Structure 1
Amino acid sequence: MHREPLLTLLRQYEPTDATEKEMTQVTLDFVQRHPDCFDRSLLIGHITGSAWIVSPDRERVLLIHHRKLDRWLQPGGHADGDPDVAAVALREAQEETGLTSLKLVEDQKQNPSIFDVDVHTIPARGEVPEHLHYDIRFLLEADPEEPFGFSEEIKNISWLTLLDVNNLDSSESILRMCRKIYH
């Protein structure tokens, strides 16, 4: 798999705090060491792509209630061999929400840029051992008036304000992305 585009994005990315800086470096090291980093068959961990979806006015964020994990999260999923992690994030967001108005927020040169980096543990499930997701997150916009058409993986989906997200007892990872939008 061609890792150079992701390595370039990771090297260009400027984390917002010490925790995210450490996770970005860990992710960079992981991608450099593992040519198969985009394949979920790499059982120690793999690259995933996520979408932090906001309304055009940046007043609301779209979160899904993931059925298996029983938590409110941003849409996202496995790269499954695709090294274009921005495309993975967009595809997963479309599959999980049914939204067609999704668009990637790009930098001034019309290139995708990383919005957030997170490394988190996924618990063992069946034959798959506990492993890490090296999650590369991209900022997307969508029309909050568009109806949802969510997948079987999703228990619920909702546009939420920052206060709503704080009331969900969200992880630091989710709250960090909120701070990036709302501060």
Structure 2
Amino acid sequence: MTETAWEALAPDDPRVAPRPDDRDLARQQVAAAVLPAALDGVRDRVLALCDGPDDPLDRRSLPDHLTASAVVVAPGRGALLLRHRKLGRWFQPGGHVDGDGNLLAAACREAAEETGLAGLRPVLPAVDLDVHDVAYPDGSFHVHHDLRFLLLARADAVVAHNDESTGATWVTGDADLDAVDADASTRRLVHRGLAVARELGE
């Protein structure tokens, strides 16, 4: 297996600029994600959504649409999780792409809004992909096809989460993940993000 050429970008890199309605770029980013073989079927499902008749970038395309999220990693701190106000569970920052075909840009935007962290350095390609059902307390139901990126934060990063979350915590391994009762998907992403950050020397 060849070693992945991870690339940490500057926060103002042109590749982090929004690309409204660019379904082709979204598809390219899904196809380029570096995933274990066990997720090949998940990738196939998300690519089928990208190629389908409905707009995958529009949250009004129900029940299935694209979302983007990020595992934020800081040296000596670990990976950042936020306690979702509506769902009451601990997750990485992320959300709907709202028409942005640059899923990396959407992940960066959501992370900045939800954590208050500036100067996050995004890494290409994406590190994880997940399809999951989301049932909200109001009875609404969505299927999120979530492309996940690694964002690198400074060691002295101070989190100022917005009102979408009720708390923030840094996790470094299974004991921390057990403490917040993280689900299997979140655990996989955290482990993946920490491993890639180590490969990058962060």
Quick check: TM above 0.5?
A: yes
TM-score (norm 1): 0.87
Moved more, 9-18 or 143-152: 9-18
Which of these residues, 146, 164, 167, is aligned with residue 156 of structure 1? 167
Report the alpha carbon displacement of residue 65 of structure 1 after superposing the two structures with TM: 0.6
Structure 2 residue ranges without an equivalent (≥5): 1-20, 196-202
Q: Which amino acid aligns with 1:37?
A: P
For the 8 Å contact 1:101–1:146, the answer to whether it is kept is: no
1:120-167 CA distances to partner (integer Å, 9 max, x unpaired)? 0011554x7312000010110112422222111110011121131233
TM-score (norm 2): 0.79
Paired residues in the alignment total 174
For the 8 Å contact 1:3–1:35, the answer to whether it is kept is: no
Structure 1 residue ranges without an equivalent (≥5): 106-111
Report the alpha carbon displacement of residue 34 of structure 1 after superposing the two structures with TM: 3.7
- Residues 143 and 117 (structure 1), Cα distance of their counterparts in 2 relative to 1, 3 Å cut: same
Report sequence identity in percent: 34
After superposition, the CA RMSD in angstroms is 1.8
Which of these residues, 31, 38, 42, is aligned with residue 61 of structure 2? 42
Q: Which residue of 1 aligns with 2:199?
A: none
User: Displaced runs of 4+ in structure 1, greater than 3 A?
Assistant: none
- Residues 143 and 167 (structure 1), Cα distance of their counterparts in 2 relative to 1, 3 Å cut: same
Moved more, 92-101 or 167-176: 167-176
State the alpha-carbon separation in 2 of the partners of residues 8 and 28 from structure 1. Answer: 9
1:21-78 CA distances to partner (integer Å, 9 max, x unpaired)? 2211111101110451111111212111101111146x61011011001000000010
